[in-house]
Amino acid sequence: MYWQPVFNLLEGYFEVWLINAQHIKKVPGRKTDVKDAEWIAQLLQCGLLRPSLVPERKQRELRDLTRQRTKLVQQRNAVNNRIQKVLESANIKLGSVASDGLGASGRLMIEALINGETDAMVLAELAQRKLREKIPQLHRALAGEVTEHHRFLLRELLDQYDFLEHKITRMSKRVMEVAPSPFRTAVQQLDPIPGVAEHGAEAVLAETGTDMSRFPTHKHFASWAGRCPGNHESAGKHHSGKTPAANRNLDAVLTEIAHAAVRKKGSYFQAQYHRVAAHRGKKRAIGAVKHSLLTTIYFMLRDNTAYRDLGANHFNHLDPQQRIRYHVRKLQELGQEVELSPMADAA
């Protein structure tokens, strides 16, 4: 990010171009800063350079906020994990019964442990709502050996957890305060996409922006985001098809969203994931879902349309005859003789 201070100083006075070094670095014989500058100026005069996409200052500020919030969330999750480890060291197995160890019930139980309560029956009775159905399991999970050392660590970790929660809330509030109206509208527009939710939409839009006119097609958009196959051909041979390096922050957000999207039952993304994972593996299947998410976001923002899920049966209707041939072939491989007839004729 060495370019940012210079770019910020000159942005209001000149048309500043940020050039991808990969486009000009493979030129031999220019190994000094002066010769590099001369060569770059010559390329610019000949029209051989393309400026990289640098978002406006408002969007760059939103990026800083959403990226900082992501770091805070990661720190909070690390503290949460540390709390569970301290409980495990005291033979408290709360996490094996409660899905959220720091939910309403878990928090009450941990606070009681810190205050000196050791009776597992009393601790289990602090369960709220649906967790009360698991009180017998909680009796066994909460029968541990909590020492003064454990209580001290739990108190410090809970305070740190609350501090980070407060910081995350402040950061989210700040995002919505400084976000322009088109950004807030786009967040609400992308919210219905499976796996996205409000914070996910904010993180994605802070990286991509809301103006899709900068990308001629959805393929250009996916390429800019680094979600396209690599292109390396020499002497008629195709070499590595590895996806190119791109925005790591955007890729991390898309990965998180994709994992959440494929858990949505009956959705297009879940069907796509299982379809690709069956023959290409889980990692490539998540990559395909990330590409589909980008394509969906592109067309929704470009055309200002609402999200419409294609459904889990979308792929079954693309080419019904191909599906029939596939299943017939599989049955024949199992030694079965197959005779097909339409349902109307069979009736």
| CB 245 within 8 Å of CB 251 | no
Query: What is the model's pLDDT at position 75?
Result: 96
| CB 219 within 8 Å of CB 200 | no
Domain count, the chain: 4
| CB 271 within 8 Å of CB 312 | yes
Compute CA distances 318 → 266, 306, 342, whole Å: 17, 23, 19
The contacts of residue 128 (CB under 8 Å, 6+ apart) are 104, 105, 108
Query: What is the model's pLDDT at position 71?
Result: 95
Whether residue 338 lies inside any domain: the answer is: yes
Residues 101 and 149 in one domain: yes
Residues 273 and 197 in one domain: yes
Whether residue 69 lies inside any domain: the answer is: yes
Residues 291 and 264 in one domain: yes
Residue 69 domain boundaries:
59-178
Whether residue 238 lies inside any domain: the answer is: no
Residues 70 and 145 in one domain: yes
Residues 311 and 328 in one domain: no
Residues 107 and 195 in one domain: no
According to DSSP, the β-strands at 237-238 and 233-234 are antiparallel
Whether residue 232 lies inside any domain: the answer is: no
Whether residue 240 lies inside any domain: the answer is: no
Query: What is the model's pLDDT at position 111?
Result: 92
Q: Given 178, 196, 230, which residue is the final one in a domain? A: 178
Query: What is the model's pLDDT at position 342?
Result: 78
For residue 77, the domain's CATH number is 1.10.287
| CB 203 within 8 Å of CB 66 | yes
Mean pLDDT by 10 residues, the chain (347 residues): 81 83 65 78 82 84 94 95 93 87 89 90 88 89 90 95 96 93 94 93 94 92 83 68 77 94 92 92 93 94 93 82 85 86 62
Q: Given 178, 203, 233, which residue is the final one in a domain? A: 178
The contacts of residue 148 (CB under 8 Å, 6+ apart) are none
Residues 8 and 80 in one domain: no
The contacts of residue 88 (CB under 8 Å, 6+ apart) are 95
Whether residue 239 lies inside any domain: the answer is: no
Whether residue 166 lies inside any domain: the answer is: yes
Residues 198 and 312 in one domain: yes
Residues 186 and 312 in one domain: yes
Whether residue 234 lies inside any domain: the answer is: no
Compute CA distances 303 → 193, 207, 242, 256, 296, whole Å: 16, 19, 31, 25, 11
DSSP 53-80: ----HHHHHHHHHHHHHHHHHHHHHHHH
Residues 102 and 152 in one domain: yes
| 252: number of Cβ within 10 Å | 15
Secondary structure element (H or E) that encloses residue 184, with its range: helix 181-190
The contacts of residue 66 (CB under 8 Å, 6+ apart) are 175, 202, 203, 206, 207
The contacts of residue 44 (CB under 8 Å, 6+ apart) are 17
Residues 289 and 197 in one domain: yes
DSSP 210-255: S-GGGSSSHHHHHHHTT-S----EETTEE---PPPP--HHHHHHHH
Residues 92 and 38 in one domain: no
